[in-house]
Structure 1
Amino acid sequence: MRVHLLLLPLALAVCASTSAAGSSRATTSASATSKAVTPDAALLGGYHWHLTQATDHYGQRIDALFVRPDKPLQLDFDGNRISVRNSCNGMGGSYRIEKGQLMVGPMMHTMMACTNFPLNRLDSLIGVRLSVRPTITVTRSGDNPLLRLHTSAGDTLIFTGLPTPETRYGGPGVTEFLEVSPQTVPCNHPLMRNAQCLDVREVHYDANGLKTGTPGSWRVLSQGIEGYTHQPGVRNVLRVKRYAVQHPPADAPSEAYVLDIVVESATAGR
């Protein structure tokens, strides 16, 4: 009898400890869940959303959605429009959020046929999952928010948000067209000896997309252009966005240029 009496307090302590641990886990889970919110257009539009995880209802990774490791599927939201990048074709359509579900309208897409079958199939694989009204939540934790889509079939897609230039620089940019000379030029750079910089001049287009007016003077662009990699001997015309840099470090430029699209490209001499 004494043995049972001695074991009873120990059993009660174990039960209490287990209960406390369970309560702690429940609290932690509830706390984590409470951070997941239904996003609005402003939050969605502030990031480029890169697919980083995808599992089916068995918890198995959906490998078919990761055929381009260097260019993951990307969702972009602009007003009431959603677009898909890094698939075979560019895709886009209208969207709205109702009762926590992402409602995507018919999506238009380019008509390019990719010879790589897994890449060619990627359009339909992501298109189907966007069309079935998945639930949508965003969790703000750490430096990058996570966008979670969950379908009625049990698929879960998680996208990591990378801030857009507008988010990073705190405001809209100014659209410009820059012609980039085929050859770089020597320039002064506070951190690099014998630096080479882009030689650019501003060009202008009318509403019909035709060049108009006189190009500006050539000038050295010491800060480069985000998203643009120059190939020696190739002349490019770029549509860029110019942003004001708030509180730039000493000797750093007060403006930043981000590539939008390449308008023209030609090898020098042609």
Structure 2
Amino acid sequence: MKYSLIWSLAILTAGLTACAQPGEGPSDRHADTTMEKTLTAYHWELDRIVDENGAAQASGTLPHGQSGAPMTLAFQAQRLSVTGLCNVLSAAYNTQGDNMRIRQVVSTMRMCPDTALMRHEHAIANRLPDVATWHVAQADNAAQPLTLTLAFSNGGQWVLQGKPTPETRYGSAGEIRFLEVAPQTITCSHPLIPKAQCLNVRAVQYDASGLKTGEGPWHALQGDIEGYHHEPGVRNVLRVKRFVRSDAPADAPDQVYVLDMVVESEHAAGQYSSE
């Protein structure tokens, strides 16, 4: 098996620095930097898998995670993360021109009851180190999304479609926060929805070693957390990114929260899992 099941917040968030390769010229490095910015400015959703014989399988026919979202790849600071499965996969990657190398694939350790999804996840994890090249292309129609093609050493391909990252959409890096989400929603005030239901959250503080140092008061969160699907009866601790919107509508909050990672998940019955 080509990957190990390891949970470590440090491993999943560590950045590895890429070094320039011998023989690179200034124009080559500029082109690489431009393409790398495009790669990291988007989240890449799997559209189809093409095998070595050219037969394509659409993403909609493949197992999906609990939220129903497709498998999504995100590239940042020489780290690759894969979501939309049972667990979150993480790996180091580096590029040189149109070549890509992915290595040191690790996974969170959640066991899912969907055996088909688990088999698919293992296949994805074992496939990642075989990526050989990458290419980003714009469709003929500018309204269509960018396409990322990852080609494997045996001739197979993954074809993925790009969606701008929150950093790209909101024009900033965002602020990392930790929020605990209570198992049940609460009634909250909304200008357009009578008796609206909001997530009941409180801030959680950690020190540099990852130890919890404090908690804030519970309060209703105005708006949703992008990328988070709340399951009633389940308590979660989330790592989120907070963005400030300068163009927020009058009936919407000017702060946007985007899910970055599920740190803890606990069912009301007491079943506990860390992701």
With normalisation by structure 2, the TM-score equals: 0.69
Deviation at 1:140, TM superposition (A): 2.3
Q: Which residue type is aligned with residue 240 of structure 1?
A: V
Q: Take 2:269 and 2:114, find their aligned partners in 1: how far apart are those partners?
A: 34
State yes or no: 1:40 paired with 2:31: no
Change (3 A) 1:78 1:196: same
**Structure 1 residue 138 and structure 2 residue 136: aligned?**
yes
| Distance (Å, rounded) in 2 between the aligned partners of 1:113 and 1:237 | 18
Tell me which residue corresponds to 1:246: 246
1:93-112 → structure 2 map (5 Å cutoff): 93-109=91-107
Cα offsets for 1:174-203 (capped at 9, x unmatched): 112223344433322123122122232222
Q: How does 1:44-63 map to 2 (within 5 A)?
A: 44-62=39-57
Name whichever structure is richer in strand by fraction. 2
8 Å Cα contact 1:180/1:198 also seen in 2: yes
Count residues in correspondence: 233
Q: 1:153 aligns to what?
A: 154
Partners of 1:117 and 1:182 in 2: how far apart? 26
Structure in which a larger fraction of residues adopt helix = 1
Q: Secondary structure at the match of 2:248?
A: coil
CA distance in 2, matches of 1:88, 1:186: 31
Identity fraction in percent: 42
After TM superposition, the structure 1 stretch with the greater mean CA deviation from structure 2, 137-146 or 258-267, is 258-267
Secondary structure class of the residue paired with 1:250: coil
Per-residue CA shift, 1:120-156, capped at 9, x if unaligned?
Answer: 4435644565434533111123342110123353323
Distance 1:150 1:211, change over 3 A: closer
Measured in 1, the distance between the counterparts of 2:182 and 2:109 equals 33
Aligned residue in 2 for 1:227: 227
Q: Which residue of 2 aligns with 1:67?
A: 62
Q: 1:173 to 1:143 in 2, by over 3 A?
A: farther
Which 5+ residue runs of structure 2 have no aligned equivalent? 1-30, 271-275
Structure 1 residues 104, 65: CA separation in 2 closer, same or farther (over 3 Å shift)?
farther
Provide closer, same or farther for how the CA distance between residues 111 and 143 of structure 1 changes in structure 2, counting only shifts above 3 A.
Answer: same
Give 1:244 deviation, angstroms.
Answer: 0.6
CA RMSD of aligned residues (A): 3.3
Distance 2:59 2:247 in 1: 44
Residues 59-99 of structure 1 show CA distances to partners (whole Å, capped at 9, x for unaligned) of 31247995314343332211112233345654333222224
Q: SS where residue 212 of structure 2 aligns?
A: coil
Alpha-carbon offset, residue 208 of structure 1:
2.5
Equivalent position SS for 1:166: helix
* 1:181-238 deviation line (CA, Å, top 9, x unaligned): 444333221231221222322221222222214x333332221322333344544333
Question: What residue number does 2:218 align with?
Answer: 218
Q: Given the superposition, is the C-alpha separation of residues 56 and 201 from structure 1 closer, same or farther in structure 2, using an over 3 Å criterion?
A: closer
Distance 1:234 1:129, change over 3 A: closer
What is the CA distance between 1:158 and its match in structure 2?
A: 0.5
The reply to whether residue 262 of structure 1 matches residue 257 of structure 2 is: no
Q: Distance in 2 between matches of 1:98 and 1:269?
A: 50
User: So what's the TM-score if we normalise by structure 1?
Assistant: 0.70
Quote the residue 1:172 is aligned against.
Answer: 173
